């Protein structure tokens, strides 16, 4: 089993060291994990910092990234011998003008994969329930789709990212607010989004955290996954978005079956920002052994 979206305690909303996550991964039979700590650099927000050894560090300082990189590489060395590969990733929060706010070290770090995520609308996070309502009150459903997919296309165009994470994240709290119509708001934007992704060779993630929020589908929903694949975007990573060690691998088995049922045959791992496809069948068999 693999899990490509994991938050260790460099962010204040996560608990557990890199070592604790690796221990939990081993215990739960995972073969490969990728840490994707948050890089939230919108300086107008009060969460634009990183935790290192329980101390707040400026997100734009380079030291924390050096610390993070060496801790993950060290873990790979340690746990590889026990059958667990540990990859170096990051989840970057996209907003217009982001490039100037990234730490210099971002461009010098040898990441295996870089996730680009749209959480923010006008500096409010739609991934946080209270903040999401500020956004929903302001936008009709079609405006929400227009803004969200507009941001995602801009995110692809920055050429900073390998993967778009959870590309219908607005469903997390929006499903309750707007109703089931929210499942369709990607449709007017799919051509433009998939053209951009194909051109810039950007892939997408299927994220299982929606199941922990009692939603029916992973993010994105099956019809959006199928639509992207039909347009030639067929590199997919899978991730639990674990924020605690015991959450690692959460929903991964279920999502493999879900993907297989809608006709997806492979998911991908990454090394030095190059994808490698793995048959879903072999991952399921591995688990059954």
Question: At closest approach, how far in Å is the CB of 47 from Zn ion?
Answer: 13
Among 241, 247, 268, 280, binds Zn ion (CB under 5 A): 241
> Which listed range, 21-29, 117-125, 130-138, 266-274, lies at the site for Zn ion (CB under 5 A)?
117-125
Is 140 in contact with 134 (CB distance < 8 Å)? no
Using rule CB under 5 A, residue 117 touches Zn ion? yes
How deeply is 289 buried, as exposed, middle or buried, from its count of CB atoms within 10 A (0-12, 13-18, 19+)?
exposed
DSSP one-letter string for 13-27: T----HHHHHHHHHH
For residue 240, which of 24, 45, 19, 47 has the smallest C-alpha distance? 24
Question: At closest approach, how far in Å is the CB of 107 from Zn ion?
Answer: 21
**Residue whose beta carbon is closest to Zn ion:** 117
Question: At closest approach, how far in Å is the CB of 91 from Zn ion?
Answer: 5
Please tell me the distance from the alpha carbon of residue 252 to that of residue 155, in angstroms, as a whole number.
26
State the binding string over 150-189 for Zn ion (x if CB under 5 A, else -): ----------------------------------------
Q: Which is nearer to Zn ion, 8 or 145 (CB)?
A: 8
Please tell me the distance from the alpha carbon of residue 146 to that of residue 71, in angstroms, as a whole number.
40
> Which listed range, 9-17, 116-124, 249-257, 259-267, lies at the site for Zn ion (CB under 5 A)?
116-124
- Touching Zn ion, residues 81-100 (CB under 5 A): 91
Please tell me the distance from the alpha carbon of residue 158 to that of residue 156, in angstroms, as a whole number.
6
Gyration radius of the chain's alpha carbons: 18
For residue 27, which of 12, 11, 16, 38 has the smallest C-alpha distance? 16
Q: Which is nearer to Zn ion, 65 or 82 (CB)?
A: 65
> Which listed range, 48-56, 112-120, 198-206, 226-234, lies at the site for Zn ion (CB under 5 A)?
112-120
Name the site residues for Zn ion (rule: CB under 5 A): 91, 117, 241
């Amino acid at each position: 089993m693999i899990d490509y979206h994991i938050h260790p305690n460099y962010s204040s909303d996560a608990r557990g060291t890199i070592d604790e996550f690796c221990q939990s991964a081993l215990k739960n039979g995972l073969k490969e994990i990728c840490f994707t700590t948050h890089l939230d650099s919108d300086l107008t927000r009060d969460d634009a910092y990183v935790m290192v050894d329980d101390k707040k560090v400026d997100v734009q300082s380079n030291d924390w990234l050096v610390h993070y990189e060496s801790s993950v590489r060290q873990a790979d060395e340690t746990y590889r011998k026990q059958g667990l590969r540990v990859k170096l990733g990051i989840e970057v929060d996209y907003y217009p003008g982001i490039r100037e706010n990234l730490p210099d070290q971002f461009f010098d770090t040898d990441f295996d994969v870089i996730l680009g995520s749209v959480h923010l609308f006008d500096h409010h996070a739609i991934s946080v329930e209270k903040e999401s309502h500020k956004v929903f009150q302001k936008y009709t459903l079609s405006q929400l789709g227009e803004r969200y997919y507009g941001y995602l296309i801009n995110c692809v165009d920055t050429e900073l990212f390998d993967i778009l994470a959870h590309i219908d994240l607005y469903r997390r709290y929006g499903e309750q607010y707007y109703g089931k119509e929210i499942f369709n708001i990607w449709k007017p934007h799919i051509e433009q989004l998939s053209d951009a992704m194909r051109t810039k060779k950007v892939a997408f993630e299927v994220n299982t955290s929606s199941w922990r929020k009692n939603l029916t589908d992973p993010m994105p929903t099956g019809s959006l996954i199928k639509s992207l694949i039909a347009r030639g975007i067929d590199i997919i990573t899978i991730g639990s978005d674990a924020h605690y060690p015991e959450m690692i691998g959460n929903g991964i088995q279920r999502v493999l079956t879900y993907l297989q049922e809608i006709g997806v045959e492979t998911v991908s791992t990454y090394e030095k920002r190059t994808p490698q496809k793995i048959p879903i069948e072999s991952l399921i068999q591995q688990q059954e052994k």
